[in-house]
Amino acid sequence: MISIVVPCYNEQESLPLFYQELEKVRKELVNADIEYIFVNDGSKDKTIEVLRELNNADPKRIKYVSFSRNFGKEAGLYAGLEHATGDYVAVMDADLQDPPEMLHAMLEELRSGDYDCIGTRRVSRDGEPPIRSFFARQFYRIINRISDTEIVDGARDYRLMTRQMVDAILSLKEYNRFSKGIFSWVGFDTKYLEYKNQERVAGETSWSFWSLFKYSLDGIIAFSEVPLVIAAFLGFFSFIAAMIALLVIIIRALIFSDSVSGWPSLVCFILALGGLQLFCLGILGKYLGKTYLETKNRPIYIVKEQSLNNEEDKARD
């Protein structure tokens, strides 16, 4: 059994097309079947109505979980993994940017026993805005330099995992989640299959440049302490520079009887130091804020509605 976890946010147009394509793949699988776990992440459109219709049409294979509000894709992934019962678990997007036909090759690689996870990575970003592609590459370059956890450039959430790896991921109960890093951090053997970027089949992406930027910052903070080291280094460097400047002023006053001038430059220097201090406080505040959210021990998501198709789910709930 392969569980397909599909986080959904405003995907009413994509879901029927996604289901049709996956059904084609399911019928071609050898000695395997598929169950679908759709997670409605507080969609504003008719996504939940489409999920109800799909569940009524195929209640044996299709399950859905609907949140009380939008908790984010990370919560959707976690909820889907929690409700997955398959021997293997795949994570896919509903927009068909993750090619369903790759499941055949992924399953064969996983069945060989050499790997615990078969992931995918894009080797091109055709159709993506150039500015977004540039910053995405810079993000992977930066995080792999400052973090001990390797995150493959172009890696997608689309992957097929063993039950052992899924259980390891579920054991990490942290509230602030960054799945790309968690998939690598658990440390199971992973092989990546490459493919070219594909466009959405319907609808519009909910990921704006700003949301992706915030998501990348969350990833850096979750898997690196280097920003804190940078803040400490900047503070130390500013102190040394101030001491040198003070020494130069004293020497000029004692030896050359030169009065100190340049009030405009002094004001600029004070403003620069103030900005540097606020920047360092911002870094500290970001880490402190994440710690504060973790100590609240809030649930990662809240379920408003779900379909229960087997006794195992009923016992869990």
Longest CA span, the chain: 92
Query: β-strands 62-67, 117-122: how paired?
Result: unpaired
Predicted confidence at residue 248, as pLDDT, reads: 75
pLDDT tens by residue, 23-41: 888 888 878 888 999 999 9
Q: How far is Cα 9 from Cα 45, in angstroms, rounded to an integer? A: 9
Q: What are phi and psi of 175, to 5 degrees?
A: -75, -40
pLDDT at 229 over 50: yes
Most confident range (mean pLDDT) of 95-99, 164-168, 176-180 is: 164-168
For CA atoms 185, 186, 189, 190, the dihedral sign is: negative
Predicted confidence at residue 38, as pLDDT, reads: 94
Predicted confidence at residue 80, as pLDDT, reads: 92
- Percentage of the chain beyond pLDDT 70 is 86
Average pLDDT over residues 40-44: 90
Predicted confidence at residue 62, as pLDDT, reads: 92
Hey, where are the domains in the chain? 2-224+299-316, 226-296
pLDDT at 303 over 60: yes
pLDDT at 227 over 90: no
Q: How far is Cα 151 from Cα 144, in angstroms, rounded to an integer? A: 6
Predicted confidence at residue 160, as pLDDT, reads: 93
pLDDT at 277 over 50: yes
DSSP character string of the chain: -EEEEEEESS-TTHHHHHHHHHHHHHHH-SS--EEEEEEE-S-SSSHHHHHHHHHHH-TTTEEEEEESS---HHHHHHHHHHH--SSEEEE--TTS-S-GGGHHHHHHHHHTTS-SEEEEEES--TTS-HHHHHHHHHHHHHHHHH-SS---TTEEEEEEEEHHHHHHHHT---SS--HHHHHHHT---EEEEEE-----SSS--S--HHHHHHHHHHHHHHH--HHHHHHHHHHHHHHHHHHHHHHHHHHHHHHS-PPP--HHHHHHHHHHHHHHHHHHHHHHHHHHHHHHHHHHT--S--EEEE---SHHHHHH-
Average pLDDT over residues 17-25: 90
Q: Which residue has the tokens 């019928």?
A: 27
Predicted confidence at residue 199, as pLDDT, reads: 64
Average pLDDT over residues 59-81: 91
Name the amino acid, one letter, at 8.
C
Local confidence band at 4 (pLDDT 50, 70, 90 cut-offs): very high
Average pLDDT over residues 251-260: 68
Predicted confidence at residue 126, as pLDDT, reads: 66
pLDDT tens by residue, 124-170: 766 666 777 777 777 778 777 877 777 777 788 899 999 999 999 99
Model pTM? Answer: 0.75
pLDDT at 206 over 60: no
Q: Which residue has the tokens 């809030």?
A: 298
Predicted confidence at residue 315, as pLDDT, reads: 43
Most confident range (mean pLDDT) of 45-54, 205-214, 284-293 is: 45-54
**Which CATH superfamily groups domain 2-224+299-316?**
Spore Coat Polysaccharide Biosynthesis Protein SpsA; Chain A (3.90.550.10)
Average pLDDT over residues 277-294: 81
Predicted confidence at residue 313, as pLDDT, reads: 46
Average pLDDT over residues 173-186: 85
Average pLDDT over residues 255-274: 68
